[in-house]
Structure 1
Amino acid sequence: MLFINRSKSRLVMMLALVMFVLTAALPVYAADSSTKLEIRLKLASNQMKINGEATKIQPPYKSSNEVMVPLSVFTNAKSFAAKVQLKDNKIITLTYLKHVIVMTIGSKAATIDGKKVTLSEAPVNKSGVTMVPLAIIAKTFGATQSNDAATKEIVLKATITSAGSGSKGPGIDTDSGKSKIGDSYYTWSMNYPTGLVQQKQWSNGNFLSFSDVKGNYYLAISIEEAEEALDSNEKRDWIKENIEDETVVDVKTITRPTGKFERIVTKDQGGFYYEYRGIQANGYFYTLIFGKKASKASELDANAALLDSFQPVYNAANKSLKDLARIKDGKISFENSDYGLKLQLSKQWSEDSRSANPYYYGPDDSSLSLDVYSLNSDDNLSKWVGSYTQFFKELKAEAYRKEPEISSVTWNGIPATVVKLSYSDNTKQWLNEYQIYAIKGQYKYAVNFTYKEGSRDGVEDVINEVLNGMKIDFAKVEKSFGEVPDPMDSLDLTSTTTKKSKKFNYSVTVPKYWISGTIDMDKNSVNFSHLATDLAIAVNQGSGLKEYQDYFEKANQNSGIFNMDSKTNVTFAGVNAVKYEFSTNNLAQYGLKLTVYIFESNGNLYAVQGTMNITYATESNLKRLDEALNSFQLTK
């Protein structure tokens, strides 16, 4: 992930907080490689059914003759499990198997598998959720669409084929001679669950789930570090952290030949019963989860033999035991079949399963990512690198960045350019980005390794792996992807647009790249922003300018982090206004400069505020913010 994208997450580090998905199965027959999928939706309803299982969504609606649905209809792990990537807060890339759909929020122009198309309706943001046209995406993914007259539901039907991604595996019962599974790193084993397909395994191996084709049974194993001894109630609390929207129907302690377990049985609204078993050993807390559709809890007993076989022991000498460990010799092997990517990182690293592109995060806020973009006819390596380094210089104030270091290397057998960027939010703690840019065939490749300057957590090992160990199958990329726009190609820092509020009678002109999606200008407050530059407009109906000023001043004073640098009476937008200038003090995490105009017009109280993070206070950024503030006009 390049600096243009990484900067957005500098204030809030993205972590992969993935909810447990208790989906695995225990059939007695062999699994197929494809699954029948049925999705049912209803206009204005917040419920979607996937193969009969209900889940909540943003309600679909009709725009003209097109049904608009949330992206989750296609990205839900139990539906198409399509991958989604958002670039520059507006370009959506939706990937399913070999199909790639690229859409832009607010635009009907799109590409499907590399071909330009015009959508019937543009994607929009609605209540914080991206809504997209249903029909064309469903058709691209091979689904049929129909209407159920009896229930007034929209019905999608498709046959889902496993994409073979790094998070899913083949049917594990293909391993001849194996009668047990286990993990040599986390030290557990159990009987081989015949007929299951490995569905999910977290990158470090501490969560594993399996499923059959029909999804009638569920099996999962979760492992968490637990050095201190836990009593029965504490163990039950650990188990309950995995339970959501289920009714607990039985709680007890059970003793089995393999140890003493805490056992909780639950029932969900879909008629499934789950059995949770928890045991502490080897410095870990193991949670075993099994579920199936049943009329009563006692039907779980039919599968007790499998659960009874679980033990916190791994015998490497047992040749019938299949090792599912992801961590070996202190390292994790990561693979992404879509990108033909293979690399090894230390066990402290994890994969962000939610990211559409390969993204990994490590110790001390470090991260590693790979982006692939389509090559334009006039692109070359020097021009591409130059555009990003120039953007970095224009974006970050000189006192808070260092001059980029540029060198040439060979990466994956092709010429590449290495760029090292260094920047800071306070000149005390610096972040470094080690970037590799390369071009092969019809695509551009960008690798980004971000780490704190002075970090000793294996920085040199990661750089060596990126340079010499990371492998990319370029032919695989050429087959897997269509048109994937580079966000820098569409970024125009000079283009502006004028937005008007009919309800509150004002207009403002802002850079286009400050706008993501659609903005309702008739709301009481609107916001335009990009990275650390922000323009906010708030309108309150009523009078009482003096009281409004007093309230505003008191609120900023009570914050404890703002100093009022000046307060003056001025003319703004053709009316009398009070202009405030604030700056943050040493208690604030980041240095900010605020300019605020407060005034009254036609029975409304207005506050127009511009905010700049001082580390981004370049001449061009300050100029753009000043021009946007001064563009504010009251209209009739």
Structure 2
Amino acid sequence: MGNWKVWMKKGGITLLAAFVLGVVAQPVSSHAYAAEVNAEIPQVIEKASPSVVAIIGKPSSEMDKSLETNRFNLAHGTGVIVASNGVIVTNAHVVKNMKNIVVVTSDGTTYRGHASNIDEESDLALVKIDATGLKPATFASSSDIKVGETVAAIGTPISFALRNSVTVGIVSGLDRSVSSQYQLIQTDAAINPGNSGGALINMKGEVIGINTMKYADLGVENLGFAIPVDTVKYVLKNFELYGKVKRAYLGLELEESWEAVVGLPSSTGLRVSYVDADSPAAEAGIEQDEILVSVGNSAVKTLVDYNEAIKTYLPGQSVDIKLQSGAATITKTVKLGELASKEVTLTGDNEGGTSIDADSGKTKIGDSHFGWSMKYPAGLVKRQQSDDGDSISFIDAKGEFALAIHVDDDQSDDLSPSALLNKLAGDDSSNYSSGGTTILERQYVKRAESPYAKVVSRSGEEGYVQTRGYVHGGRLYTVQLFVTKEQYTNHSKQNIYNDLLDSFKLSFNNADGSLKDISVFNSDDVTYTSEYGLSIDLPAEWQQDHGGSTSFYNDDYSQAVHVNVTSASSGDTLQNWIDRETGKFEAQYTADYRRVDKPVELTVAGVPAWKVSYASSLGDEWEAGSSLFFIKDKYKYEVQMTYPQADQGEELEKAWDKMVASISVNKETMDGELGFIQDLDEITDPDQTTLYKNEKFNYTLRIPEQWTSIRSYDGSDPVSKSFNFTGGYLRVDTDSKKAYADMVKDAEDGQKTNHNNDSDYKYTSEDVTLFGDVKAKKYTVSYTKKHIPYTETVYLFTRKQINYTVTLRIDDAVGTDANVARLNKAFTSFTFVNGTGGK
């Protein structure tokens, strides 16, 4: 059976979801044959290994720049030499985001390299190094590859120190369609992280494929995949002729049969699910729901079949497409267009420095903002750092020790030595202590430059912690070193650790080129870039919403910036859009509780834009905001800043102008998978309703779709159900235990008590008939609660031993005719499950 599993591309770590099909086990080779093959393997490896290289570099990430600055954060993979002058083929996922590429040949020679061509669809790329006289690999023919033949994988698994490692297995299967646009070779030769881009060779020493991924799951072993040699040759030829892979374009979206999806042999072709307008397929008359049977002479039943067939044609060529249209089989000739290549920005050769070591030449480390520095051993690796840098921890690359530095800004300089020692001895903020601490040493060390308190303690059975505390400039600096018992009792190691701790200084020399600054404190604006191509600068202290949305907030969440992106519908204009949004706002509040200023025309990101300022209140504090509207590259962008109206002033206006001036839209940085994003305000009807049914308490209601309601945790029909909108709600409370007369008496007593306690609380009561024949009690309340005036109508009635209390509340601020009508209509839709009720 098929199961959703995880596919791991080897090299730069990439996870892909794929549908796994059952694989038939291959016959086991005879002992005699195995012995013969084993005798050949060393000679084969000796022949092929010089053509395989190891590739290492720094990973690049726009989302997390710390990946590039950590000297131990490296990515590696493998490559195969295809030309003696230094042309190497590897996987695209290995080098796509790799900086400062270094290539090491099998004899240990090191070269600087750069990615020259990348094709993500095939997952192949070229790396160029400045070399001559290299040994190119010999490529086999795909037609010669046989299931069951012995193969070897050469690569750089797990660690760069293991480059040119060899694993041996067999070809387990051919024409596998897993997580790839093209067919793959399956092998049981062990493929591990770092093998990506390496050679899969036969027993002639010929390359039959480029290793690309393995299947990773508990209990699964030796299930790897390689790109077949004919696909490699196809891509290399396109690189040579055009600098990219030219792919033919029909303009079809195709859908596989159910059998093909789950891996069963399919008897049908591919259904045409969509035909692009003005595409070659449309011009040839291909229509939706026709079944594509073959491309040229190649039958196609899966998407991989289709891709394999179409790759044999170039843009501009014509091909016969056989289709099943109803009961008829027809052939249509299509003149192929060219598929737009996905743009890939090649990483600069020397971005972030010329060395693969991000910290080359740095022998000291420190924080310029908090003013400290110390020695920087080659094996020191940053583990964690707080957002503003006041807390940071390190580990040793060999796992021998851990180091933590914490800076407390709120500390008096006149802390006495004894108080400082007590503070350190009782300090439970250690990242490493595990309780049960025994103090082994405690002293105040006097030295001219920076005296400190020192506490050495044993934590648990194996842990030893040395803590040093320094008071300087209103700050307490705490430095902690953790080592195991084995390291603690090693005197030479102790000398090394003490030397590291002794190097800690309460100063930072900006002129020292050997000193690495790890400060993350930033008082400048930070640029946020979205997948919609929009960039905007906001103050450094602002934080993005934790849900990953395009909303940003200041420290106390009183001010916010929201970014909303939708597609511009055909015929829509900037003026129509603004009128629609303004009308929606004005329809939500009554005139006394809202304000909309006249739009101001601007230019943003090189296109016309309008600024609309507004404010609203429910009766207490006023909330204000400004929205910026513009349309660019078929998308509508709204950038909205909201804030308390009391914050308005020159300072806020300057912040707005600065933010607007920073806005830019770059089409090249847009997510390539973006499609049409409907603006819901264009199609939303505020009067559209949906049916709510409470079977336990025998009633239904038709509620406006835009109202909100919280579902019960267990999914049961609740005793109390509330439907909410801005400034109001409709709530239904039910009771099947109390007598109806008692419920009415309690309600009457409650209303009287509220009025007696506060004369501003006014109510009227009357007996009414609901839904034609249901006797009810009605209370109408008007009151101002916490400066928010509202009107509340309460209905009490009973039916079949179930008592109902329905409360309709609406604040005066949103008491427009439309909102009041919507609320009343929702109530009059009340219907008992057996059919009695409102209309």
TM-score range normalised by the length of the shorter chain: 0.5 to 0.7
How far residue 145 of structure 1 moved from its aligned partner, in angstroms, is 9.3
Q: 1:282 to 1:360 in 2, by over 3 A?
A: farther
For residues 532 and 425 of structure 1, what CA distance do their matches in structure 2 show? 7
RMSD: 5.2
For residues 181 and 416 of structure 1, what CA distance do their matches in structure 2 show? 47
Amino acid at match of 2:814: Y
How far residue 325 of structure 1 moved from its aligned partner, in angstroms, is 4.0
Deviates more, 1:414-423 or 1:349-358: 349-358
Matches within 5 A, 1:154-303: 174-189=358-373, 192=376, 194=379, 196=381, 202=387, 225-226=409-410, 248-250=435-437, 259-260=452-453, 282-283=473-474
Q: 1:337 to 1:494 in 2, by over 3 A?
A: closer
SS in 2 for 1:458: helix
Matches within 5 A, 1:541-560: 541-549=736-744
Q: 1:260 to 1:275 in 2, by over 3 A?
A: closer
Pairing 1:320–2:518 present: no
For residues 258 and 523 of structure 1, what CA distance do their matches in structure 2 show? 67
For residues 468 and 650 of structure 2, what CA distance do their matches in structure 1 show? 36
SS in 1 for 2:596: coil
Pairing 1:575–2:762 present: no
Q: Which residue of 2 aligns with 1:3?
A: none
How far residue 188 of structure 1 moved from its aligned partner, in angstroms, is 4.3
Q: Which residue of 2 aligns with 1:31?
A: 73
How far residue 228 of structure 1 moved from its aligned partner, in angstroms, is 6.4
CA contact 1:187–1:282 (8 Å) conserved in 2: no
Amino acid at match of 2:637: Y
Matches within 5 A, 1:130-149: none
| 2:733 maps to which of 538, 553, 556 | 538
| 2:586 maps to which of 384, 388, 393 | 393
Amino acid at match of 1:540: D
CA contact 1:222–1:288 (8 Å) conserved in 2: yes
For residues 217 and 599 of structure 1, what CA distance do their matches in structure 2 show? 74
For residues 34 and 540 of structure 1, what CA distance do their matches in structure 2 show? 68
Matches within 5 A, 1:54-65: none
For residues 789 and 362 of structure 2, what CA distance do their matches in structure 1 show? 60
Q: Which residue of 2 aligns with 1:356?
A: 549
Q: Which residue of 2 aligns with 1:410?
A: 603
Q: Which residue of 2 aligns with 1:608?
A: 806
Deviates more, 1:542-551 or 1:205-214: 205-214
Amino acid at match of 2:781: F
For residues 190 and 607 of structure 1, what CA distance do their matches in structure 2 show? 71
Q: 1:569 to 1:468 in 2, by over 3 A?
A: same
Amino acid at match of 2:792: L
How far residue 399 of structure 1 moved from its aligned partner, in angstroms, is 0.6
| TM-score where L is the length of structure 1 | 0.60
Amino acid at match of 1:581: T
How far residue 496 of structure 1 moved from its aligned partner, in angstroms, is 0.5
Amino acid at match of 1:250: T
How far residue 542 of structure 1 moved from its aligned partner, in angstroms, is 0.7
How far residue 501 of structure 1 moved from its aligned partner, in angstroms, is 1.2
How far residue 577 of structure 1 moved from its aligned partner, in angstroms, is 2.5
| 1:488 maps to which of 670, 681, 697 | 681
How far residue 506 of structure 1 moved from its aligned partner, in angstroms, is 0.7
Amino acid at match of 1:624: R
Q: Which residue of 2 aligns with 1:621?
A: 819
Matches within 5 A, 1:379-390: 379-390=572-583
For residues 385 and 780 of structure 2, what CA distance do their matches in structure 1 show? 53
How far residue 631 of structure 1 moved from its aligned partner, in angstroms, is 1.8
Pairing 1:432–2:609 present: no
Q: Which residue of 2 aligns with 1:522?
A: 717
CA contact 2:790–2:809 (8 Å) conserved in 1: yes
Deviates more, 1:540-549 or 1:276-285: 276-285
Q: 1:325 to 1:288 in 2, by over 3 A?
A: same
How big is each residue's C-alpha offset from its partner over 1:279-316, in whole Å with a ceiling of 9 and x where there is no partner?
A: 77544566779999x999989x9996677766664443
How big is each residue's C-alpha offset from its partner over 1:5-40, in whole Å with a ceiling of 9 and x where there is no partner?
A: xxxxxxxxxxxxxxxxxxx99xx98224599xxxxx
Q: 1:450 to 1:173 in 2, by over 3 A?
A: farther
Q: Which residue of 2 aligns with 1:452?
A: 644
For residues 808 and 457 of structure 2, what CA distance do their matches in structure 1 show? 54
For residues 215 and 747 of structure 2, what CA distance do their matches in structure 1 show? 56
Q: 1:577 to 1:484 in 2, by over 3 A?
A: same
SS in 2 for 1:335: strand
Matches within 5 A, 1:109-124: none
CA contact 1:258–1:308 (8 Å) conserved in 2: no
Q: Which residue of 2 aligns with 1:38?
A: none
Deviates more, 1:279-288 or 1:571-580: 279-288
CA contact 1:31–1:213 (8 Å) conserved in 2: no
CA contact 2:458–2:465 (8 Å) conserved in 1: yes
How far residue 265 of structure 1 moved from its aligned partner, in angstroms, is 9.6
Q: 1:362 to 1:624 in 2, by over 3 A?
A: same
SS in 1 for 2:818: helix
Q: 1:207 to 1:29 in 2, by over 3 A?
A: closer
CA contact 1:258–1:311 (8 Å) conserved in 2: no
How far residue 393 of structure 1 moved from its aligned partner, in angstroms, is 0.6
Q: Which residue of 1 aligns with 2:238?
A: none
CA contact 2:709–2:722 (8 Å) conserved in 1: no
Pairing 1:466–2:665 present: no
For residues 362 and 783 of structure 2, what CA distance do their matches in structure 1 show? 64
| 2:796 maps to which of 593, 598, 621 | 598
Amino acid at match of 1:450: T
SS in 2 for 1:493: coil
For residues 233 and 542 of structure 1, what CA distance do their matches in structure 2 show? 67
How far residue 624 of structure 1 moved from its aligned partner, in angstroms, is 0.9
Q: 1:397 to 1:466 in 2, by over 3 A?
A: same
Q: 1:237 to 1:510 in 2, by over 3 A?
A: farther
Amino acid at match of 1:603: Q
How big is each residue's C-alpha offset from its partner over 1:136-187, in whole Å with a ceiling of 9 and x where there is no partner?
A: xxxxxx99897889xxxxxxxxxxxxxx9xxxx9999613223444443344
CA contact 2:763–2:780 (8 Å) conserved in 1: yes
Amino acid at match of 2:636: K
Pairing 1:377–2:576 present: no
For residues 766 and 398 of structure 2, what CA distance do their matches in structure 1 show? 70
For residues 273 and 627 of structure 1, what CA distance do their matches in structure 2 show? 72
The runs of 5 or more residues in structure 1 that have no matched partner are: 1-23, 36-141, 150-163
For residues 554 and 287 of structure 1, what CA distance do their matches in structure 2 show? 64
Amino acid at match of 1:184: S
Q: Which residue of 2 aligns with 1:333?
A: 526
Paired-residue identity, %:
25
For residues 473 and 281 of structure 1, what CA distance do their matches in structure 2 show? 47
CA contact 1:568–1:580 (8 Å) conserved in 2: yes
CA contact 1:500–1:508 (8 Å) conserved in 2: yes
| TM-score where L is the length of structure 2 | 0.47
Q: 1:29 to 1:442 in 2, by over 3 A?
A: same
How far residue 410 of structure 1 moved from its aligned partner, in angstroms, is 0.9
SS in 1 for 2:369: coil
For residues 551 and 307 of structure 1, what CA distance do their matches in structure 2 show? 74
How far residue 511 of structure 1 moved from its aligned partner, in angstroms, is 0.4
Kindly indicate whether structure 1 or structure 2 has the higher relative contact order, using CA contacts under 8 Å at least 6 residues apart.
Answer: 1
